[in-house]
Each structure stands twice: as structure tokens, then as C-alpha cells.
């Protein structure tokens, strides 16, 4: 009986649940988790949740700007984006394939924000296919790699308007959002804003030097502006300036302004017109004497200013001095540091949340002037970009050459200068007596008819207006703000964005400003430059002493040489020999002290580099360790509570 019971106990009950082996349970659990992850990922990607991201980068580089969101929310007509990408070819570079995923994610977010107003057509152009023919018709040229045509671009269309991005360059990814948003804005805008242009620079190109030759190419910034705005070239002596016909007036190096033209600008502002003026104390791009320059009368003066208007507006400007800045100097290599070529970092941006300069990281102003606030103009003056306080004023011609010892010879002014300024409010007239040209007319014109009599001039503004002042004009030149790539020209700083942002704000289109600011930029080592400038300032007195000692020695040697050439017996007294030895000893001591100070400067720079390197290397593991410690403490506290 006992044996029977043991046998029954050893046999598992068939009526109960089947016991699964632990290894099998583990495998089933892992497979279930993998399936859940795959299904969850697919479910999230197929819904709007897949476009939700957390951007922890500085300045939110991967977050769509409010301007882009506004453009997409205001779409009234459907926009079609034909997205050409060669995905199956093995010849496509790896970095381009990685960049494709970023473009895919961006287009998905655009489509989600547009709420049905954007349709994306994904096309993979292969040889001898309809997709390849469509790409060629849309202006998407293939890149030849290993005897294959590889496509990676977009065509954006709305109704009968179309534009294209021939190639999406991974090296220009910071401008991706702007290019796409700008393309959508362009095809959905059917009237271009008007901008009047007055300039003495060859922005629109130069005429051919000989019959049959091609004319000189227009500046890139002019080509960019012409795509978005209706540019009205007014010449330098317009007969009339009407804000109703030309709401925005752009002046680029208005050299040689007559009093009558300045009066017209004055009346234009009083009537509510908006002025954007790029003045320059020494324009490097000003044409030299050449009678073939149409409308420019040969040579153009290097300096440009508003002699009457600036004073009335409460702004000071030295029209013949450029600023050399010890903090924002530009290094051109081979020890050539140009203090008057300003590489302006984020420290120069006074208000980084201003809509004009938001997101800016680098501006380049070659031989710029400086504005000062004098007051008394009755308008609000905002300084958007300014120099440091380590500034020396110098003549423009002298600033064209490197001069590393300028801060050792000249004491800085110790004050900031405005480089970009905005004036707002109701302006006062700079010509209370009316048009100065009318006052100079002879008495022979008194018998003119009533129709030819001049209109009465305004004394006060009828409505509020704005004036933007930029202390340089060369910053718009091709080499100052663009670089040539295999696909065309790309911005190297925020120069072009500065002018475009201002014009966008003046013409009422503010949506593209934030996305355009994300230009490909560099960050100058301003701390190092400040250290070197301070070092030069410390050496100022020592250098003066050395120069005086050298002059004294030269004078004595010249006197001795004169006596020798006149036949006088040259016998140096003991006092003279002692004096020369003393001066030579002082020179040697001074040189030794200078070498010690230079060594100290190098040591300070090395310590700064070491500190930056240590912080960079140690910050990440330290953050991970602190995070792990916090998690451990939280878990331990919860365990104790249980």
C-alpha cells in the first residue's frame, strides 16, 4: 500500500497546470519583450507621438523655430514636396545616408505641423526611370559617384509656383530648416515686398570692359535679395522717395550724398518710411576710377555717412576712422592679426533675444566704423551689436596692414562703439528751413508756374518709423560672408542673415528670422585675445621706456659718427663708455623682462587650455556618476520605506 502511494506521488497530476521549464519561460519572456518593443516603436512612429522630441542642445538647435511653425500654420493652399533620395545605391556616402534620416524626421515634423497642407512624395531616382526624369525636370541634378548618378534634393511647389533645393549638403545642416521654410514661404507668397536700393557699390555687377565680354557677376547677397524682394534701383539722385511706393529704403555705402538727397531721405522717414543704411568710414569694395561704372561717375569715395541726419537723430559717427578691437581681432594665419577686421562672437550681441540677432554666433566686419549715442534726437536708440572696450580709432588706410603692436603704442578709448543700431519713434527733421537745394536756386526761377513749386516740407513725423544703422558695407561682399562649395555658395557667418533679418522685419515677414540665424559659424577665442591685448597694454610703459633708450643711444652714436667723419680724433671718454654700457644693460634687462612676461602669458594660456580640456573630459563621466548616485539613493530610500 505504501509503495502504491509513493508511485502515485511521483507521477505528476495530469489534471493540473503543466509546469514549463524555467529556460523556456525565460526565452518566451525575452521574445515577448522584443515583440512589444518593435510593436511599440512602430506604433509610435506611425502616430504624431513619433515626432515628439526633447532637445537638450545649446540654443535648441534641433527644435523647430516659432517662425517655421507660423509659416506652416498659415498655409492656405496645399504644398507638394517631392523628395528625391537615392537610397538603394551602395555608392551613396555613409554620412549622406545618415543625413537622410535627419531630413526624413524633419519632413515628418513639417507634415504633422501643417495639418494636411503638405504632401510629401518620396522618390528614389534610378537610371532610366520616371523618377529620374522627374528629378531632372525639377532641377535636381545628380551627383556623379562611381559612375552612378546619386540624387539627394527637393522640389517644393504650390499651385503654379515652384522652387528647388538641388542638393542637401550634410555640411550645411544648420541651414536645413531655413532653406526648407524659405522655399515653402516663397512658393506660397505671390507678391514680393518692395525694397528701394541706393548704392555706390557694384552690388548688381559691373558692365563689360569691352564689347562682347560678359558683365561682372552681381554680389551673391544681391542675388539672394532679388529672389525674395522686388529690388527697385533708385540711383544716388532720386527725384522723389515715397513710402507708399517704396516702403523700405536700403542704402549701401551712400558715398557723396548731396544735401538735396539727404533732405529727401529725411522727408521719407518723417512720412513713415523705413531706412536701412550701411555706412562705412573706409569701404574696401568702393570702385576705383573707372568711367565704365554706370551711374557711379568713376571713382567712389571710401567714406560714407549722413552728415546732417545722424546729428539730428542723436547719433555720433566718425566718418574717417575705423575701430581696431583687441578682443574681436581676426587672425589670418602666419602671425597676421588684423585688429580692424572684427570677428564678432556672441559677446558682441547686446540682446541675444532680439528678433534681428537671435541665435547669432559670428559676424565679420572688415574695417568698420563706430556709432556713439549722443542723445537729443527724441527717438529710442537700441544697440544690437557693439564692440568691446578695448578699441583704438585709426585711419582706414593704416588699418589695411597688420599691426600687432598697436595696443602697445596707443591707449584704448575704454568705451563701447555701436556696430548695428536701431532707431525707433517719431523723428525730427534735420532741415527745418526746407530743401537746401531750393534755397540755392537763383532768382531766375521765381517766375516758374505753381505746378513746379516745391511741396511744403514736413517739420515733424506724421507717424512712427524705424532706422537701422550698420557701420560697415564690406560685410556684404562675397568673400566676407559666403564660401563656395561643390553645390554653390554657403554662408560662413551671420552677415547675410543680419541684413535679411532686418529686411524681413521691415517688410513685415518675421517668420524666417529664427531659422535663418542658424548659420554655419565659428567661435573665436575671445578670452585668449583679451589676455593678449591686456598683455600689450601692460607693456605700454615698458615699450615707451625702451623706445626712449634706443633713441638716446642712436643720437649719441650719430654724434660720434659725425665727429669721426669730420676728421676729429675719436676718443670716447670714460663717462661716455659707462653711459653706453649702462644703456645697453638697461636694454638687456628690458628684453629679459619682456621675455619673462611673454613666458607668463604662454603659461596662462596653457593653464586655460588644460582647464578646458580637463572640464571637457571629466564632465561627462562626472555627470553619469552623479546621476547613478542619485538613482541609488532614491532606490535605497524607497527600500527602507518598505
Q: How confident is the model over 41-97, as pLDDT tens digits?
A: 776 666 655 555 565 555 566 678 888 888 898 898 999 999 999 988 888 888 888
| 391-395/321-325 β-pairing | antiparallel
pLDDT for residue 210 is more than 80: no
Which grid cell sits at 481? 560672408
**Domain coverage including residue 78:** 60-180
Please compute the mean of the pLDDT values over residues 598-612 and round it to a whole number. 72
Whole-angstrom distance, CA of residue 642 vs CA of residue 639: 5
DSSP secondary structure of 66-92: HHHHHHHHT--S-EEEEEEE--S-TTS
Which grid cell sits at 631? 538613482
Query: 70-79, 288-297, 558-567 — which is least confidently predicted?
Result: 288-297
- The residues, ordered by sequence, that sit 6+ positions from 217 with a Cβ below 8 Å of its Cβ are 205
pLDDT at 274: 94
Which grid cell sits at 214? 560678359
Of the three residues 496, 524, 552, the one that is the final residue of a domain is: 524
Residue 233 and residue 171 share a domain: no
Residue 630 and residue 490 share a domain: no
Highest average pLDDT, of 66-70, 311-315, 437-441, comes from 311-315
Please compute the mean of the pLDDT values over residues 18-32 and round it to a whole number. 76
Which grid cell sits at 584? 645697453
Q: How confident is the model at residue 495 (pLDDT cuts 50, 70, 90)?
A: very high
Which grid cell sits at 406? 598697436
Residue 577 and residue 472 share a domain: no
Please compute the mean of the pLDDT values over residues 388-398 and round it to a whole number. 92
- For residue 529, give the nearest of 599, 611, 601 by alpha carbon: 601
Of residues 71 and 559, more confidently modeled? 71
Please compute the mean of the pLDDT values over residues 382-403 and round it to a whole number. 92
Of residues 91 and 530, more confidently modeled? 91
Tell me the per-residue pLDDT of 226-261, one tens digit each, with 9 for 90 and over: 988 999 999 999 999 999 999 999 999 999 999 999
Question: Is residue 514 situated within a structural domain?
Answer: yes
Residue 564 CA: distances (Å) to CA of 557, 574, 584: 11, 18, 22
- DSSP H helical ranges for 271-387: 309-313
Residue 252 and residue 156 share a domain: no
Question: Is residue 407 situated within a structural domain?
Answer: no
Of residues 114 and 452, more confidently modeled? 114
Q: Is 70 exposed, middle or buried (0-12, 13-18, 19+ CB in 10 A)?
A: middle
pLDDT for residue 425 is more than 80: yes
Please compute the mean of the pLDDT values over residues 268-285 and round it to a whole number. 95
- The residues, ordered by sequence, that sit 6+ positions from 606 with a Cβ below 8 Å of its Cβ are none
- Rounded to two decimals, the pTM is 0.63
Of the three residues 468, 496, 524, the one that is the final residue of a domain is: 524
Question: Is residue 273 situated within a structural domain?
Answer: yes
pLDDT at 443: 44
Q: How confident is the model at residue 264 (pLDDT cuts 50, 70, 90)?
A: very high
Contact at 8 Å (CB) between 387 and 417? yes
Of the three residues 524, 548, 576, the one that is the final residue of a domain is: 524
Q: How confident is the model at residue 294 (pLDDT cuts 50, 70, 90)?
A: very low
Question: Is residue 428 situated within a structural domain?
Answer: yes
Residue 495 and residue 579 share a domain: no
Residue 299 and residue 175 share a domain: no
Contact at 8 Å (CB) between 576 and 555? no
Residue 498 and residue 356 share a domain: yes
- Which domain CATH number covers 134? 3.40.30.10
Helix (DSSP H) and strand (DSSP E) numbers for the chain: 17, 22
DSSP secondary structure of 572-616: --HHHHHHHHHHHHHHHHHHHHHHHHHHHHHHHHHHHHHHHHHHH
pLDDT for residue 548 is more than 80: no
Highest average pLDDT, of 350-359, 424-433, 446-455, 533-542, comes from 424-433
Residue 399 CA: distances (Å) to CA of 278, 300, 320, 531: 19, 19, 12, 22
Residue 368 and residue 246 share a domain: yes
SS3 state at 343: strand
Residue 229 and residue 120 share a domain: no
Whole-angstrom distance, CA of residue 335 vs CA of residue 327: 16
pLDDT for residue 16 is more than 50: no
**Angle 367-524-319 from CA coordinates, rounded to 5°:** 15
Task: For the chain, give the mean pLDDT.
Answer: 80
Whole-angstrom distance, CA of residue 140 vs CA of residue 542: 64
Angle, helices 526-538 vs 574-641, to 10°: value is 150
Question: Is residue 136 situated within a structural domain?
Answer: yes
Residue 570 and residue 519 share a domain: no
Contact at 8 Å (CB) between 471 and 317? yes
- For residue 277, give the nearest of 427, 423, 505, 468 by alpha carbon: 468
pLDDT at 538: 63
Q: How confident is the model at residue 583 (pLDDT cuts 50, 70, 90)?
A: low
The residue count of the chain comes to 642
Residue 78 CA: distances (Å) to CA of 102, 118, 160, 177: 23, 6, 12, 19
Report percent pLDDT > 70 for the chain: 74
Question: Is residue 517 situated within a structural domain?
Answer: yes
pLDDT for residue 453 is more than 90: no
pLDDT at 441: 62
Question: Is residue 569 situated within a structural domain?
Answer: yes
Residue 462 and residue 368 share a domain: yes
- Which domain CATH number covers 515? 3.40.50
Number of domains into which the chain is organized: 3
Whole-angstrom distance, CA of residue 122 vs CA of residue 619: 42
C-alpha dihedral (266, 270, 274, 275), degrees to nearest 10: 20
Q: How far is Cα of residue 451 from the mean position of the Cα atoms in its chain? A: 49
Question: Is residue 123 situated within a structural domain?
Answer: yes
Residue 196 and residue 170 share a domain: no
pLDDT at 450: 43
Q: How far is Cα of residue 98 from the mean position of the Cα atoms in its chain? A: 27
Please compute the mean of the pLDDT values over residues 461-466 and round it to a whole number. 87
Amino acid at each position: 500500500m505504501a509503495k502504491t502511494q509513493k508511485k502515485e506521488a511521483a507521477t505528476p497530476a495530469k489534471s493540473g497546470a503543466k509546469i514549463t521549464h524555467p529556460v523556456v519561460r525565460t526565452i518566451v519572456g525575452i521574445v515577448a519583450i522584443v515583440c512589444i518593443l518593435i510593436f511599440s516603436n512602430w506604433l509610435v512612429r506611425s502616430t504624431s507621438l513619433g515626432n515628439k522630441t526633447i532637445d537638450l542642445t545649446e540654443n535648441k538647435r534641433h527644435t523647430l523655430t516659432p517662425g517655421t511653425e507660423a509659416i506652416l500654420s498659415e498655409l492656405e493652399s496645399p504644398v507638394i514636396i517631392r523628395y528625391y533620395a537615392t537610397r538603394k545605391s551602395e555608392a551613396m556616402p555613409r554620412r549622406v545616408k545618415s543625413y537622410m534620416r535627419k531630413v526624413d524626421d524633419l519632413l515628418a515634423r513639417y507634415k504633422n505641423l501643417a495639418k494636411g497642407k503638405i504632401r510629401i512624395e518620396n522618390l528614389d531616382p534610378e537610371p532610366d526611370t520616371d523618377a529620374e526624369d522627374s528629378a531632372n525636370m525639377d532641377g535636381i541634378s545628380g551627383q556623379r559617384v562611381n559612375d552612378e548618378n546619386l540624387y539627394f534634393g527637393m522640389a517644393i511647389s504650390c499651385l503654379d509656383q515652384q522652387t528647388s533645393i538641388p542638393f542637401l549638403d550634410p555640411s550645411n545642416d544648420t541651414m536645413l530648416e531655413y532653406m526648407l521654410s524659405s522655399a515653402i514661404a516663397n512658393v506660397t507668397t505671390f507678391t514680393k515686398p518692395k525694397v528701394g536700393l541706393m548704392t555706390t557699390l557694384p552690388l548688381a555687377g559691373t558692365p563689360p570692359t569691352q564689347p562682347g565680354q560678359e558683365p561682372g557677376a552681381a554680389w551673391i547677397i544681391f542675388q539672394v535679395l532679388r529672389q525674395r524682394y522686388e529690388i527697385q534701383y533708385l540711383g544716388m539722385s532720386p527725384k522723389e522717395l515715397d513710402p507708399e511706393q517704396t516702403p523700405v529704403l536700403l542704402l549701401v555705402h551712400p558715398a557723396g550724398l548731396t544735401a538735396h538727397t539727404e533732405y529727401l531721405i529725411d522727408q521719407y522717414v518723417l512720412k513713415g518710411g523705413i531706412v536701412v543704411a550701411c555706412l562705412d568710414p573706409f569701404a574696401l569694395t568702393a570702385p576705383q576710377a573707372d568711367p565704365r561704372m554706370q551711374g557711379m561717375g568713376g571713382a567712389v569715395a571710401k567714406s560714407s555717412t549722413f552728415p546732417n541726419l545722424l546729428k539730428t537723430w542723436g547719433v555720433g559717427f566718425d566718418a574717417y576712422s575705423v575701430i581696431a578691437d583687441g578682443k574681436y581681432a581676426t587672425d589670418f594665419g602666419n602671425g597676421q592679426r588684423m585688429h580692424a577686421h572684427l570677428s564678432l562672437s556672441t559677446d558682441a550681441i547686446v540682446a541675444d533675444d532680439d528678433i534681428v540677432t537671435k541665435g547669432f554666433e559670428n559676424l565679420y566686419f572688415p574695417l568698420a566704423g563706430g556709432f556713439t549715442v549722443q542723445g537729443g534726437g527724441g527717438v529710442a536708440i537700441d544697440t544690437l551689436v557693439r564692440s568691446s572696450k578695448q578699441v583704438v580709432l585709426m585711419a582706414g588706410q593704416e588699418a589695411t596692414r597688420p599691426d600687432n603692436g598697436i595696443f602697445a603704442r596707443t591707449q584704448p578709448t575704454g568705451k563701447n562703439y555701436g556696430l548695428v543700431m536701431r532707431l525707433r519713434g517719431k523723428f525730427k527733421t534735420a532741415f527745418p528751413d526746407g530743401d537746401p537745394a531750393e534755397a540755392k536756386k537763383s532768382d531766375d526761377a521765381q517766375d516758374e508756374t505753381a505746378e513746379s513749386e516745391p511741396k511744403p516740407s514736413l517739420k515733424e513725423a506724421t507717424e512712427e518709423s524705424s532706422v537701422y544703422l550698420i557701420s560697415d558695407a564690406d560685410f556684404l561682399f562675397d568673400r566676407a560672408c559666403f564660401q563656395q562649395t561643390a553645390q554653390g555658395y554657403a554662408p560662413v557667418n551671420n552677415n547675410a542673415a543680419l541684413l535679411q533679418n532686418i529686411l524681413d522685419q521691415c517688410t513685415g515677414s518675421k517668420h524666417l528670422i529664427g531659422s535663418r540665424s542658424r548659420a554655419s559659424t565659428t567661435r573665436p577665442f575671445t578670452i585668449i585675445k583679451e589676455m593678449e591685448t591686456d598683455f600689450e597694454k601692460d607693456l605700454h610703459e615698458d615699450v615707451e621706456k625702451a623706445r626712449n633708450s634706443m633713441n638716446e643711444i642712436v643720437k649719441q652714436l650719430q654724434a660720434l659718427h659725425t665727429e669721426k667723419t669730420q676728421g676729429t680724433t675719436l676718443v670716447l671718454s670714460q663717462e661716455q663708455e659707462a653711459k653706453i654700457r649702462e644703456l645697453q644693460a638697461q636694454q638687456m634687462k628690458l628684453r629679459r623682462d619682456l621675455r619673462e612676461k611673454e613666458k607668463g602669458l604662454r603659461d596662462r594660456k596653457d593653464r586655460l587650455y588644460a582647464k578646458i580640456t580637463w572640464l571637457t573630459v571629466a564632465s561627462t563621466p562626472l555627470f553619469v556618476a552623479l546621476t547613478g548616485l542619485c538613482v541609488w539613493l532614491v532606490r535605497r530610500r524607497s527600500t527602507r520605506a518598505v
